[in-house]
Structure 1
């Protein structure tokens, strides 16, 4: 039974791994910004870029799921 769901388990594990990586990157950036006394505007730009990267990754996953579900990919 486990072999039937191996691809789904791998996909879920990979997505959780990427979520953890984004979390740890965010914590590292937060620490660097705090210790570097970065101005508010600079902090906002850094967080915006991080958010857009994460949103792009999520959008890619959603597009990939819809295409695979409809038989395109």
Structure 2
């Protein structure tokens, strides 16, 4: 059974690991910004850039669903 669904299990595991990585990066960035008293505009820019990185992976996943790689 596992050999039949190996690609699906691998894809789900990769997506879960990437989501966990982005959550940990967000927590680390939040901690650094909080300790260094960064102004609100700096926080907005940093979180926006972090969001763009995550959005790239989300967009890649959606494209793979529609194109059917």
Displacement of 1:5 after TM fit?
Answer: 0.6
Determine the structure 2 residue equivalent to 1:24: 24
- Could you tell me the TM-score, scaled by structure 2's length? 0.94
Q: Hey, which of these two has a bigger chunk of helix by percent?
A: 1
Runs of 4+ with deviation above 4 angstroms: none
Alpha-carbon distance in structure 1 between the residues aligned to 2:19 and 2:8: 16
Tell me the number of residue pairs that the alignment of Structure 1 and Structure 2 aligns: 69
Using CA pairs under 8 Å that are at least 6 residues apart, name the structure with larger relative contact order, 1 or 2.
2
Query: 2:7, 2:56 → 1: CA distance?
Result: 23
State the Cα RMSD in Å: 0.8
Q: Which runs of 5+ in 2 are unaligned?
A: none
TM-score (norm 1): 0.89
